[in-house]
């Protein structure tokens, strides 16, 4: 890896916490230095104030204590890097060219293949303005690359087509070969640049899972879910002090109005409309856990396959489809239901997949760190004081949609999530269960738990379910 100038991440803050020093980002990555001595303090102060190459940082820290253990200093830098708390700057002649900022602790540097016949940008990379800098990101990566020098923008433009390192040196003579190598390595670490053939073919061009993704769909997916970025997500009220809140009810216009008939209060109650009126999100659960029988009823009226339509080999447009109690555009039904079970009478705790044709649960794994993380994410998202009995994760098999639809595939997936949420709400309410749809989840964590490939199948929605409604909620 080329030599970079290390500095504390721009989103990270170094602050005292009693006798300790805490380095933390708003997104949650943090490192606690317990009762640090003068050498560790000097290292952290240098990273915060001006940074430097690794050797310079170590030397500056050792100035506080020439007999300090160098291994401990290198270990501290490694721990900061592992948690995504360091930024990596590329310099030439005292000028900052670019800064790479990890967005999650999952970020890892990529090794640049110096023997490759050429390099080219991924089609999933994008360039935008952020304050006074250009920022390059890629939906496949977990970092952002800030470009501080116009020559870096020229480099990005050149890499729209296949380029060798020698060709780049000729096109950008004001950038040294070392600087260009460092810049290419940063782009590779951002998953925005890959070695390619002389004809410009990238590995992603031959990857069936990636070929099914439109650029904007993968961008939308990764940036509207947690796991691959550290952008603010959820109810941040970021415009509360700048713009008035829109009214809950749209003001009446000037057009003529036609009163609609209202249901007669004395009409026989069919049951369904009572369920509609009672439907709500419930945060407080009763004492009785959900049962296997109740789960069976729920999935029978939500997701089972009622009829199956095989594909027509003579007409590719007549693809394999199913019809179920819940609506699905084109009868594609790309959504799968996974259950992370904390407690259920008649069922062991663990992770399962629902088989809609056999009406069975398929065992995946016993509880582990990833499944516990899914439950913890759900509790944070819904402000639960206790774990739900069952967390239902809606996972999309994206290829089902993008095979047929172009440009709207991911938007349709999210529409279907809303349809499934409503169906789950209504059936759970009719069964006297405690339902609550969640607004966010970690798709990377789910893929790790379920053993799926992120680009092929991962989570797009979460729904918490418990066995009985608390008396205070039922009354």
- Tell me how many degrees the CA angle 445-451-454 measures, rounded to the nearest 5: 60
Is this structure's pTM higher than 0.85? no
From CA 417, how far away is CA 323, in angstroms rounded?
16
From CA 56, how far away is CA 148, in angstroms rounded?
23
Query: Are residues 47 and 106 both part of a single domain?
Result: no
Quick check: is 256 in a domain?
no
Whole-number pLDDT of residue 416: 95
Mention every residue, 6+ apart, whose C-beta is less than 8 A from residue 110: 185, 188, 189, 191
Whole-number pLDDT of residue 310: 87
Query: Are residues 83 and 173 both part of a single domain?
Result: no
Q: Cα torsion at 468, 471, 473, 475 (round to 10°)?
A: 120
State CA 190 to chain mean position distance: 16
Q: Of 206, 233, 264, which residue is a domain's last?
A: 206
Whole-number pLDDT of residue 368: 96
Q: What is the CA radius of gyration of the chain?
A: 27
Query: Are residues 433 and 309 both part of a single domain?
Result: yes
Buried (b) or exposed (e) across 222-243, using 16+ Cβ within 10 A? beebbbbbbeeeeeeeeeeeee
Whole-number pLDDT of residue 270: 52
Buried (b) or exposed (e) across 179-218, using 16+ Cβ within 10 A? bbbbbbbbbbbbbbbbbbeeeeebebeeeeebebbbeebb
Whole-number pLDDT of residue 250: 66
Quick check: is 235 in a domain?
no
Query: Are residues 314 and 368 both part of a single domain?
Result: yes
Whole-number pLDDT of residue 265: 58
Among 111, 10, 102, residue whose Cα is nearest residue 51: 10
Q: Of 185, 206, 227, which residue is a domain's last?
A: 206
Would you state the structure tokens that stand for residue 100, as one six-digit string? 């790479």
Whole-number pLDDT of residue 475: 35
Query: Are residues 65 and 100 both part of a single domain?
Result: no
From CA 342, how far away is CA 322, in angstroms rounded?
30
Query: Are residues 288 and 396 both part of a single domain?
Result: yes
Query: Are residues 310 and 192 both part of a single domain?
Result: no
Name the residue range of residue 152's domain. Answer: 93-206
Among 460, 348, 452, 344, residue whose Cα is nearest residue 401: 460
Whole-number pLDDT of residue 246: 66
Query: Are residues 348 and 444 both part of a single domain?
Result: yes
Mention every residue, 6+ apart, whose C-beta is less than 8 A from residue 309: 318, 320, 321, 322, 323, 331
Instruction: Kindly give the confidence (pLDDT) of every residue in the chain, 475 residues in length, as a single tens digit, with 9 standing for 90 and above.
Output: 568 999 999 999 999 989 888 999 888 889 898 998 888 988 999 999 989 899 988 988 888 888 778 888 999 999 999 999 999 999 999 899 999 999 988 888 999 998 899 999 999 999 999 988 899 999 999 999 999 999 999 999 999 999 999 999 999 999 999 999 999 999 999 999 999 998 899 999 999 999 999 999 999 898 888 888 888 877 677 777 887 776 666 677 786 677 756 656 554 445 877 777 778 777 777 778 999 998 999 999 999 999 988 888 888 888 888 899 999 988 889 999 999 999 999 999 999 999 998 899 999 999 999 999 999 999 998 888 889 999 999 999 988 888 888 778 898 899 999 999 999 999 999 888 999 999 889 999 999 999 999 988 999 999 999 987 654 454 3
Among 138, 158, 160, 137, residue whose Cα is nearest residue 147: 137
Would you state the structure tokens that stand for residue 461, as one six-digit string? 């929605």
Q: Of 60, 89, 118, which residue is a domain's last?
A: 89
Q: Report the CATH number that the domain containing residue 387 is assigned in CATH.
A: 3.40.109.10
| Burial of 456 from C-beta contacts in 10 A (0-12 / 13-18 / 19+) | middle
Query: Are residues 428 and 312 both part of a single domain?
Result: yes
Q: Which residues are registered as beta bridge partners of 353? A: 338, 362
Residue 200 zone, left/alpha/beta (φ > 0; ψ -120 to 50; rest) = left
Quick check: is 262 in a domain?
no
């Amino acid at each position: 890896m080329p030599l970079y100038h290390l500095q504390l991440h721009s989103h990270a803050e170094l602050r005292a916490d009693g006798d300790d020093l805490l380095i933390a980002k708003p997104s949650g990555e943090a490192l606690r230095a317990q009762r640090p001595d003068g050498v560790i303090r000097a290292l952290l102060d240098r990273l915060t104030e001006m940074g430097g190459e690794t050797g310079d940082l170590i030397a500056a820290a050792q100035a506080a204590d020439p007999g300090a253990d160098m291994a401990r200093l290198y270990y501290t830098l490694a721990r900061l890097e592992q948690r995504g708390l360091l930024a990596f700057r590329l310099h030439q002649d005292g000028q900052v060219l670019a800064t790479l900022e990890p967005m999650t602790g999952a970020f890892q540097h990529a090794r640049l293949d110096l023997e490759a016949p050429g390099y080219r940008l991924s089609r999933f990379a994008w360039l935008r303005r952020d304050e006074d800098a250009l920022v390059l990101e890629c939906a496949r990566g977990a970092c952002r690359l800030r470009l501080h020098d116009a020559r870096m923008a020229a480099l990005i433009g050149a890499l729209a087509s296949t380029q060798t390192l020698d060709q780049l040196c000729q096109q950008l003579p004001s950038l040294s070969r070392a600087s260009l190598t460092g810049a290419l390595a940063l782009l590779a670490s951002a998953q925005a640049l890959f070695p390619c053939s002389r004809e410009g073919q990238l590995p992603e061009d031959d990857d069936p899972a990636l070929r099914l993704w439109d650029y904007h769909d993968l961008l939308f997916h990764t940036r509207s879910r947690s796991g691959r970025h550290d952008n603010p997500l959820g109810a941040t009220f970021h415009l509360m002090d700048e713009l008035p809140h829109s009214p809950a009810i749209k003001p009446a216009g000037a057009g003529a109005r036609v009163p609609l008939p209202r249901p007669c209060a004395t009409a026989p109650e069919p049951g369904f409309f009572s369920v509609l009126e009672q439907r709500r999100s419930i945060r407080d659960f009763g004492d009785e856990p959900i049962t296997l029988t109740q789960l069976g009823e729920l999935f029978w009226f939500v997701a089972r396959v009622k009829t199956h339509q095989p594909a027509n080999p003579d007409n590719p447009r007549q693809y394999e489809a199913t019809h179920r109690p819940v609506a699905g555009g084109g009868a594609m039904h790309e959504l799968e239901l996974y259950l992370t079970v904390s407690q259920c009478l008649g069922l062991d705790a663990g992770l399962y997949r629902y088989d809609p044709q056999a009406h069975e649960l398929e065992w995946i794994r016993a509880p582990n760190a990833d499944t516990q993380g899914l439950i913890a994410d759900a509790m944070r998202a819904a402000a639960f004081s206790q774990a739900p009995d069952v967390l239902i994760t809606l996972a999309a098999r994206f290829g089902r949609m993008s095979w047929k639809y172009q440009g709207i595939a991911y938007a349709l997936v999210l529409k279907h999530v809303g349809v499934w949420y409503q169906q789950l709400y209504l059936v759970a309410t009719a069964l006297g269960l405690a339902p609550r749809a969640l607004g966010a989840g970690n798709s990377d964590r789910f893929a790790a738990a379920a053993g799926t490939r992120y680009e092929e199948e991962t989570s797009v929605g979460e729904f918490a379910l418990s066995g009985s409604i608390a008396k205070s909620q039922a009354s």
